[in-house]
Amino acid sequence: MMPPPRSARGAGSLRRPRLSGRALCHVLGALLALGAVPPAAASPSGRAEQGAHGVVVAGEPLAAAAGMEVLRAGGNAVDAAVATGFALAVTHPEAGNVGGGGFLLYRRAADGGAFFVDFRETAPRRVRPGLFQDAGGRPLPEKIQSGPLSIGVPGSVAGLCLAAERYGSWPLPRLIAPAARLAREGFAVSPALAASLAEAWTWDTLSKDPGASAIFGRDGRPLKEGEILRQPDLAKILAAIAERGPEAFYRGAFADRLASGVQALGGILEAEDLAAYRAVERQPLRGRFRGLDIWTAPPPSAGGVLFLMMLNMLDAADLTGGGHNSSAAIHLSAEAMRRAFADRAEYLGDPDFVKVPVARLIDPAYARDRWKTVEAERATPSAKVGPGGAIPAESHHTTHYSILDAGGNAVAVTTTLNWSYGSGILIPGTGLLLNNEMDDFSLGRDAPNLYGLTGGDANGVAPGKRMLSSMTPTIVAREGKTWLVLGSPGGSRIPNMVLQVFLNRAVFDLPLQEAVDAPRLHHQWEPDVLQLEPRGIPADVRAGLERRGHQVRVVDGWMGEVNAAELDPASGRVLGAPDPRGAGRAAAW
């Protein structure tokens, strides 16, 4: 088994290398030379950036600059999101993608309308549970976690194009142009990308694939910092999408080549799977917490449901009495996480295939019932916490970016390949790394996925089905006006990372960058372990948690990579806060 992906370990076992101020100038200068971005402020990693007109906070500087180019030239927040998304496919190959999928949440300032585009991957039509079982019916997780059978039907191209058509103001060719230019002309490999490629397990995977190693390697070793990464095949398909729309990707010669290449490796993806794929518009989930209005991701994301469930449980809790990140506050948060994840395992799946009791799960009354079993001074063992009994019979790698303009239009986008660099498979001539998202289906209670999550029949494998996700793009309004935009990568940790940054800002009143920087925790019911980041939680707080009965483990890496944006309704100024756990940037104007 390969080591877990970067998203499973947080943002990596070590902090990613930072671009120095001089290097950042070179990055922006290169884009300026390409005509890709007008002058704009861009933050060092983990540094907030303010502007009067707009902000893009993304996990990679060149992609943030591509989005800012669009905002400065008069595009709206959705236009900027589409440009950023396609650029990430070029500059952030470990997670940005056209070979994966994700979710886009948009809130329109003019009327407060909120819209959600689901472009999660789907299972190929020839899939069946037996593909991932031995002759005795026992699950074989390794077959669903990696290799050609792990590849789901990509959704990113369909989703970004649908968002541009429905909610954007610019034609698709203008939005894809920065990404196509970066792929065609190339860019210098950043310290973060060089370090990512050089990780032993990453290069071990990519080097075994002729298509991937030819793009991301040179002379049998991964590309080094400063070397030029050119992706001519990716540039060609991006140019074709710009000219002909998603049809260029999902039908015709490109789709045939992609499908036949996967089948040659032993996979089951067919051209018919690609032709049948559709991005879906869904109703975002809506919640309230202490006077704030919240919009977040509906199923097939579990993240939004869990986020609202945890907020409902914590609404009446005394989180501030012991102080920020006190043992009392962490204990209460962990108990809410424990109960929400227990329900995740039982009830959540693709709403087009199973009846998910969303309304009941996010009902504050249900949360109050769940909260009755919480003790202020004692952790409840996960073995004693099952799915809630009040449900009626109705039954890494990932990246996130947040965009705000001064008019209050907001977009939150989370996309994923699952593992860092996905399946590690790049079919020659296509230019795109393919996902390994089939792992997000459940093979049963005794077969946890890469993130240790188990599940039941609701998230079982079926042809055309969307696998359950933890992605939690979220927008928050105060007194009717957009206030916060946030989300994170991090696998199963995502909803908990979003929860903590939200509470840091909304309850503990930390400034946005401090809210993002603050140390984090994670509990997901099973395994029954309370994870803490390696720095920032004092020994006496850990001792207080252990006295309450928590099994505390300090992880060897960072959790999540929350990229957040905030609008001050009074002044109209925008603020972007990138997470210092990653190499992201805020670009503000």
Condensed to tens digits (0 to 9), the pLDDT of residues 30-48 reads 333 333 333 334 444 568 9
Spatial CA neighbour of 418 closest among 433, 428, 429: 433
pTM of the entire predicted model = 0.90
Between residues 407 and 339, the one the model is more confident about: 339
> What pLDDT is stored for residue 445 in this prediction?
54
Q: Do 62 and 85 form a contact (C-beta atoms < 8 A)?
A: no
- Whether residue 29 is predicted with pLDDT greater than 70 in this model: the reply is no
143-154 tens-digit pLDDT: 888 999 999 999
Query: What is the C-alpha to C-alpha distance for residues 521 and 553, in angstroms, rounded to an integer?
Result: 10
Return all residues near 404 (Cβ < 8 A) that are at least 6 apart. Answer: 54, 55, 77, 410, 482, 485, 565, 566, 567, 574, 576
| Domain extent listing, the chain | 6-278+398-459, 282-397+472-564
- Whether residue 480 is predicted with pLDDT greater than 70 in this model: the reply is yes
Decide if 454 is catalytic.
Answer: no
- Whether residue 7 is predicted with pLDDT greater than 50 in this model: the reply is no
Report the CATH number of the 282-397+472-564 domain: 1.10.246.130
Q: Do 432 and 426 form a contact (C-beta atoms < 8 A)?
A: yes
- Whether residue 367 is predicted with pLDDT greater than 70 in this model: the reply is yes
Spatial CA neighbour of 229 closest among 202, 268, 192: 192
- Whether residue 132 is predicted with pLDDT greater than 90 in this model: the reply is no
- Whether residue 11 is predicted with pLDDT greater than 70 in this model: the reply is no
41-88 tens-digit pLDDT: 444 456 899 999 999 999 999 999 999 999 999 999 999 999 999 999
Catalytic residue among 84, 296, 398, 454: 398
Confidence of residue 567 (pLDDT cuts 50, 70, 90): very high
Rounded to 5 degrees, φ, ψ at 499 are -55, -50
**Mean of per-residue pLDDT scores for the chain:** 89
Phi-psi group of 483: left, alpha or beta (phi > 0 → left; psi -120 to 50 → alpha; rest → beta): alpha
CA dihedral 529, 298, 398, 187 (to 10 degrees): -160
Query: What is the C-alpha to C-alpha distance for residues 102 and 41, in angstroms, rounded to an integer?
Result: 28
Confidence of residue 111 (pLDDT cuts 50, 70, 90): very high
Across residues 222-240, what is the average pLDDT? Answer: 98
The SS3 of residue 453 is coil
Query: What is the C-alpha to C-alpha distance for residues 520 and 490, in angstroms, rounded to an integer?
Result: 12
> What pLDDT is stored for residue 3 in this prediction?
36
> What pLDDT is stored for residue 37 in this prediction?
34
Confidence of residue 447 (pLDDT cuts 50, 70, 90): low
Across residues 554-574, what is the average pLDDT? Answer: 92
- Whether residue 253 is predicted with pLDDT greater than 70 in this model: the reply is yes
- Whether residue 353 is predicted with pLDDT greater than 60 in this model: the reply is yes
| Class of residue 291 by CB neighbours under 10 A (exposed 0-12, middle 13-18, buried 19+) | exposed
| Class of residue 316 by CB neighbours under 10 A (exposed 0-12, middle 13-18, buried 19+) | exposed
172-177 contacts: CB < 8 A, separation 24 or more?
172/82, 172/241, 172/242, 172/245, 173/242, 173/243, 174/70, 174/75, 175/70, 175/75, 175/79, 175/82, 175/83, 175/86, 175/242, 176/82, 176/83, 176/86, 176/238, 176/239, 176/241, 176/242, 177/242
Task: State how far the alpha carbon of 404 is from the alpha carbons of 169, 322, 325, 499, 587, in Å.
Answer: 15, 34, 29, 20, 11
User: How many Cβ atoms are within 10 Å of 211's Cβ, its own excluded?
Assistant: 21
> What pLDDT is stored for residue 78 in this prediction?
98
507-542 tens-digit pLDDT: 999 999 999 999 999 999 999 999 999 989 999 999
What one-character-per-residue DSSP string does 376-419 give?
TTBPPPGGG--S-TT--S----EEEEEEEETT--EEEEEEE-SS
> What pLDDT is stored for residue 142 in this prediction?
85
The SS3 of residue 34 is coil
Query: What is the C-alpha to C-alpha distance for residues 80 and 83, in angstroms, rounded to an integer?
Result: 5
- Whether residue 93 is predicted with pLDDT greater than 90 in this model: the reply is yes
Across residues 164-173, what is the average pLDDT? Answer: 97
389-406 tens-digit pLDDT: 433 332 247 999 999 997
- Whether residue 452 is predicted with pLDDT greater than 80 in this model: the reply is no
Strands 398-405 and 114-119: unpaired
| Class of residue 320 by CB neighbours under 10 A (exposed 0-12, middle 13-18, buried 19+) | middle
Query: What is the C-alpha to C-alpha distance for residues 147 and 503, in angstroms, rounded to an integer?
Result: 39
The residues facing 588 across adjacent strands are 41, 55
Confidence of residue 252 (pLDDT cuts 50, 70, 90): very high
Spatial CA neighbour of 302 closest among 335, 342, 349: 349
> What pLDDT is stored for residue 525 in this prediction?
94
Return all residues near 582 (Cβ < 8 A) that are at least 6 apart. Answer: 11, 16, 45, 59, 192, 561, 563
Report which DSSP code applies to 442: B
> What pLDDT is stored for residue 46 in this prediction?
62
Task: State how far the alpha carbon of 291 is from the alpha carbons of 114, 301, 319, in Å.
Answer: 18, 25, 16
- Whether residue 550 is predicted with pLDDT greater than 50 in this model: the reply is yes
> What pLDDT is stored for residue 444 in this prediction?
66
Rg (CA), the chain: 22
Query: What is the C-alpha to C-alpha distance for residues 426 and 431, in angstroms, rounded to an integer?
Result: 7
Lowest mean pLDDT among 127-131, 291-295, 583-587: 127-131
Instruction: Say how many CA atoms lie within 13 Å of 376 toward its Cβ.
Output: 6
